[in-house]
Structure 1
């Protein structure tokens, strides 16, 4: 088996005030592609209370939101003619326009619809399909007009806990001459894997996890869902588009299967009490590896609403999780 799933366990021994021995284990797992480690730490029974954004949504909607229908055409900028002669890209209810404060050479924002606050259980397949197809059209347009911008991704911060500054649902499309650290490392290691094995890493991961079954979730059409072996958070879902290495390869049926899969993941996030998430759809700049998606939940911890990201993730760049991937994958299978 070309995919190597490596882990080790460390034990910490201490005593309570009565002299009773206590042993806690930390499992260190290595990402099968990059070799980066993440830690599965002791779970004392993590209880998550989802944040209610109803009041905040009421205060920020309508005249107070640049993405609501009464403002969106007045307050958002427009693309040059070579991207869209109409200034923006429209797909159903979804609308794409330039980001006023760009993260890269090309940065489009996709607003899903006129609805200001959409709860996880209210995202319909068509909402999702329209938004991602609109993003697809923008990436296609940029690809025609700028051959140097090879690194593309579709990104979603859902609600403020994820870093989203506006409650109104929206995506960011980032297209750049330079890859992010995640993209650069992932595709460099994927090339190395291909040189050593003669195989595509993500297709091999797809088949390996499907055959093992422990972290495999489900398959719909040519899209597979699994849980990461070395997760970047308390859940870490990976979706792989088997037959799509470029954005042009994704067909309507693929978006439909993907949207239905996301709905199922959303159901499990709701069940666990996760109120928010980050998502990235990443495209190989050389169009060799299948397009893949990663989704992790975001939350706060305890009575102080403590951030779920601390020095370990930010400075040591090492993810922590309280939840075993195999347990989460088994729960996710029940949603499909």
Structure 2
């Protein structure tokens, strides 16, 4: 293994019913940032409910501001320099301003007229249109700004992932201030190139291609699992050679959506339904990249997947082996499971 993929093992010994037990913890360090992730023994806790069919019926239609009968009346519009029509549309996708913004520019992208969409029903055209609408919004914002801006496309799917409205939607954030992740990535990737003479994501692609954590590639989009995950699963997509939002073509979004379908199918097979996704654009010349992690609570008392390690020590606790996780998605990525 490349020396930049660093891990260390700790062993905890104790006695149970008179027998000595040894449990191993593996601490892995991100090859770019040095941030650690803690791979621990999977206790076998089962995720809580994974469907929201009842809630979908209760919160849809007249009750939902994103459903087609309410969208025009309930959502605001952009100023003319962003969209002369007030909103941006592509297929069933609609982009409009967030009433409670996270940044100077914050567009909400509704993916579909359907109120509740399960993982298996996110089609390639649905996701492609949403990402293209988000792209158009970002490009319009950047044309209107003279300052350096930091852009990302983000997805909280279902309440366990922080989605406050069940209706599927993305958040497009364009800010004068980089997020902690964007700032760290740009700073560390700049240092990586200075130290190693190669751009980090290009190096990562070369290192991971066809390895244990490799998933596959379609067009300009390459998928792999993170060495030091930010959750139990942490699927990464690298957009090879695409460093600017204007470089993305329709086929790139279709290829990305196809990879997402394989990830979604794997999550579903593992009894999971919710996820966070962020697609980030670097200001340092690195390719755009995306990360997808599941979100869940556990059955019983509804235990959150976040604890003090995540929230205060800033170190993820990981129950699933990254190499085994990649193999599961690789099977779906290479198979014929995608919807049209």
Same fold, TM exceeding 0.5? yes
Map 1:245-324 → 2, pairs under 5 A? 245-286=243-284, 288-324=285-321
Deviation at 1:134, TM superposition (A): 0.3
Contact 1:87/1:97, CA 8 A, preserved across alignment: yes
Map 1:45-84 → 2, pairs under 5 A? 45-84=44-83
Deviation at 1:49, TM superposition (A): 4.3
Map 1:155-166 → 2, pairs under 5 A? 155-166=154-165
Instruction: Tell me, in whole angstroms, the C-alpha distance in 2 between the residues paired with 1:297 and 1:127.
Output: 21
Q: Are 1:330 and 2:327 an aligned pair? A: yes
What do the CA deviations read for 1:271-299 (whole angstroms, capped 9, x no partner)? 0011100000000023x000000000011
Contact 1:48/1:272, CA 8 A, preserved across alignment: no
Instruction: Tell me, in whole angstroms, the C-alpha distance in 2 between the residues paired with 1:112 and 1:52.
Output: 19
Instruction: Tell me, in whole angstroms, the C-alpha distance in 2 between the residues paired with 1:285 and 1:193.
Output: 15
Structure-2 change in CA distance of 1:20 and 1:237 (3 Å): same
The secondary structure found in structure 1 opposite 2:287 is coil
The secondary structure found in structure 2 opposite 1:335 is helix
What do the CA deviations read for 1:228-266 (whole angstroms, capped 9, x no partner)? 000000100000000200111111111111111111110
Contact 1:153/1:175, CA 8 A, preserved across alignment: yes
Contact 2:49/2:299, CA 8 A, preserved across alignment: no
Q: Are 1:228 and 2:206 an aligned pair? A: no
Structure-2 change in CA distance of 1:90 and 1:279 (3 Å): same
**TM-score, reference length from structure 1:** 0.97
What do the CA deviations read for 1:188-224 (whole angstroms, capped 9, x no partner)? 000000111121101110111015x110010111210
The secondary structure found in structure 2 opposite 1:13 is strand
Contact 1:3/1:204, CA 8 A, preserved across alignment: no
The secondary structure found in structure 1 opposite 2:229 is coil
Instruction: Tell me, in whole angstroms, the C-alpha distance in 1 between the residues paired with 2:227 and 2:51.
Output: 31
Instruction: Tell me, in whole angstroms, the C-alpha distance in 1 between the residues paired with 2:146 and 2:6.
Output: 39
Map 1:14-53 → 2, pairs under 5 A? 14-16=14-16, 18-53=17-52
What do the CA deviations read for 1:175-195 (whole angstroms, capped 9, x no partner)? 011100011001100000011
The secondary structure found in structure 2 opposite 1:22 is strand
Runs of 4+ in 1 over 4 A off after TM superposition: none
Map 1:107-122 → 2, pairs under 5 A? 107-122=106-121
Contact 2:45/2:299, CA 8 A, preserved across alignment: no
The secondary structure found in structure 1 opposite 2:209 is helix
Contact 1:280/1:293, CA 8 A, preserved across alignment: yes
The secondary structure found in structure 1 opposite 2:332 is coil
Contact 1:3/1:208, CA 8 A, preserved across alignment: no
User: 2:240 corresponds to which residue?
Assistant: 242
Unpaired runs of 5+ residues, structure 2, are 334-340
**TM-score, reference length from structure 2:** 0.96
Instruction: Tell me, in whole angstroms, the C-alpha distance in 2 between the residues paired with 1:49 and 1:277.
Output: 14
The secondary structure found in structure 2 opposite 1:45 is coil
Instruction: Tell me, in whole angstroms, the C-alpha distance in 2 between the residues paired with 1:46 and 1:214.
Output: 26
Unpaired runs of 5+ residues, structure 1, are none
